[in-house]
């Protein structure tokens, strides 16, 4: 995955700040630390310009 940009989410995050696309984002899941970790960081990826945004969204896989 290319370097993700940090995006601060205020009231909503529906519009790509880079290209202006307003059709919603795809979701990327990235394991944190190593391949055995069940902790994930989720990113929002613009389907138009392909930039990934880091929004501080964390989750965990079922074991």
Q: Which residues bind Zn ion (CB under 5 A)?
A: 16, 18-19, 21, 46, 48-49
Q: Do residues 17 and 4 make contact, with C-beta atoms less than 8 angstroms apart? A: no
Strands (DSSP E) contained in the chain are 5-6, 26-31, 39-45, 52-60
Least Å from the CB of residue 35 to Zn ion: 29
* SS3 state of residue 62: coil
In the bound state with Zn ion, the residue whose beta carbon lies nearer, of 5 and 31, is 5
In the bound state with Zn ion, the residue whose beta carbon lies nearer, of 23 and 39, is 23
In the bound state with Zn ion, the residue whose beta carbon lies nearer, of 32 and 49, is 49
């Amino acid at each position: 995955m290319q370097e993700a940009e940090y995006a601060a989410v205020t009231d909503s995050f529906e519009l790509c700040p880079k290209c202006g696309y307003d059709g919603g984002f795809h979701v990327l899941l990235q394991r944190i630390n190593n391949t055995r970790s069940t902790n994930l960081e989720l990113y929002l990826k613009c389907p138009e310009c392909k930039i990934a945004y880091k929004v501080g969204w964390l989750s965990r896989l079922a074991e």
